[in-house]
Amino acid sequence: MKRARIIYNPTSGREQFRRHLPDVLVRLEKAGYETSCHATEGPGDATKAARQAVEREFDLVIAAGGDGTINEVVNGLAHQPYRPKLGVIPVGTTNDFARAIGVPRTIEGACEVITTGEPVAIDIGCVTNEDKTRYFINIAGGGRLTELTYEVPSKLKTMLGQLAYYLKGMEMLPSIRATEASIEYDGKLFEGEIMMFLVSLTNSVGGFEKLAPDSSLNDGLFDLIIVKKTNLAEFVRLVTLAARGEHINDPHIIYTKANRVKVRSPMQLNLDGEFGGMLPGEFVNLYRHLEVLMPKEKAEQVRTGS
Ligand SMILES: Nc1ncnc2c1ncn2[C@@H]1O[C@H](COP(=O)(O)OP(=O)(O)OP(=O)(O)O)[C@@H](O)[C@H]1O
C-alpha cells in the first residue's frame, strides 16, 4: 500500500475542510493509500510537517488549504533530495495554484484528481534574499499593491472570500506610489520607477486568469511582468485590461520570459500571497522540480505544451 500524508490548515478559507476529512480518508483508502493527517497549528507548521513527511518517506503529500498552505508545504519539500509527489485540495480563499493545474475547487473533485490524475513535474521558483532561500509555486512580487494580500485579515476572508481582496485593493489604490527599481533579467536591465513587478510561474494570479497569458508550467522560465509608473487613472485602466489579458501590449508594461531575475532595490517581497522578507534578492526558476498530481487531460496538455 502507498502512504499519503494530508497536511491541512483548519483556518483556511471558510473553515470547512475538517468536516469532510472522514470522507476524504475513505476515498484515499479505496484508491490504495494508507493516509494520516496533520492539522497545522500556525504559520510555518506546514513546512515542518512536510519536512517530516519527507523524512518518513511518504509517497504522497496532500496540501489542503489555500495558496499560503501549499506554499509552506512546498517549502518543506523543495530542498530535499527525495520529494514525495504533491496533491492539492483547494480550500483557501484564492486557490490560484489549484486553478492553474486544473484541480477543481470542490473537495470531491480534488480527491478525484488525487486518486485518478497523473503526476507531472513542474517548475517552482526559488528566491534568495536576507541570506535565506525560499520557494514559491505561483508568484513572487514587489510594490505597494502586492502587499494587499497579507493586509487582509483572515476573519474578513472567512466572511467574504475573494471579495475581501478586491475591497482592500480598492481601499489601497489611491495610496499606491511608484518605487524606484533596478531589475536584471537574463542579462537585460530595467531601471526606473515601477508600480509593481511580478515573477510568475502560472497564468493564474490573484483571481486574474490571464495575467501571464503565455506562461507554461514546465518550460523552466518565469513570466516577468513589470508595471512602470502610471497615474491612478492609468493604473485602474491597466487592471481592467488585465482582467481580459489585454494589458501585455500596453506601453506601461514589460512582459517577458526569464530564467533568472535579480532585483537590486530594497522592497517588500510577496511570495505566493505571504510576506517573504525584504529584497534585494535573486529569483531562479527550478526546472521541473516537483511532481504534482493533476487531471489527466491537463497533464497531457502540460506535457505536450498545448
Ligand atoms: N492553525 C492555524 N491558525 C492560524 N493560522 C494558521 C494556522 N495554520 C496555518 N496558518 C497560517 O494561515 C496562512 C494562510 O492560510 P491559507 O493560505 O491556507 O488560507 P487562506 O488564507 O484562507 O487562503 P488564501 O491564501 O488562498 O487567501 C498560512 O500561510 C499559515 O501560515
Domains of the chain: 2-116 (3.40.50.10330), 129-287 (2.60.200.40)
CA distances from 39 to 11, 137, 299 (A): 10, 21, 29
| 180: CB partners within 8 A, 6+ apart | 192, 193, 265
Task: Give the pLDDT confidence score for residue 114 in this predicted structure.
Answer: 98
Pairing of strands 2-8, 60-65: parallel
**Lookup: cell for 93:** 480563499
Beta bridge partners of 3: 34
Instruction: Tell me: ipTM over 0.90.
Output: yes
Write the pLDDT tens digit of every residue in 75-124.
Answer: 999 999 999 999 999 998 878 899 999 999 999 999 999 999 999 999 99
According to the model, what pLDDT value does residue 11 have? 93
Q: So what's the pLDDT on residue 93?
A: 81
Asked if 143 contacts 198 with a C-beta cutoff of 8 angstroms, the reply is: no
Contact predicate 143/252, CB 8 Å: no
With a 6 Å cutoff on the Cβ, whether 76 touches ligand 1 is: no
The reported pLDDT for the residue numbered 207 is: 66
- Closest ligand 1 atom to Cα of 41: 1
First to last CA, the chain: 34
3-state DSSP call for residue 266? strand
| Residue owning the nearest CA to atom 9 of ligand 1 | 42
Q: Taking the chain (306 residues) in consecutive chunks of 10 residues, what is each chunk's mean pLDDT?
A: 96 88 97 97 97 98 95 96 97 88 96 98 98 95 77 68 70 82 96 94 78 90 94 86 88 95 94 91 98 98 90
pLDDT on residue 232:
84
Output the pLDDT for position 157.
Answer: 64
The answer to whether the CB of 149 is under 6 A from ligand 1 is no
User: For residue 164, which amino acid is it?
Assistant: A
Nearest to 142 by CA among 212, 198, 223: 198
Q: Which residues does the annotation mark as catalytic? A: 274
Ligand 1 contact via 96 beta carbon (within 6 Å): no
Name beta bridge partners: 192.
Answer: 181
Contacts of 40 (CB under 8 A, 6+ apart): 7, 8, 9, 10, 46, 49, 65, 69, 72
- Residue in 8, 11, 72 to alter for ligand 1 test, most ligand atoms within 8 A of Cβ: 11
Rounded Cα gap, residues 160 and 207, in angstroms: 14
Q: How far is the CA of 66 from the centre of ligand 1 (A)?
A: 7
168-188 pLDDT per residue, tens:
777 777 777 889 999 999 999
Listed in sequence order, the residues at least 6 apart from 250 whose beta carbon sits closer than 8 Å to its beta carbon are 238, 241
| Ligand 1 touching residue 153 (CB < 6 A) | no
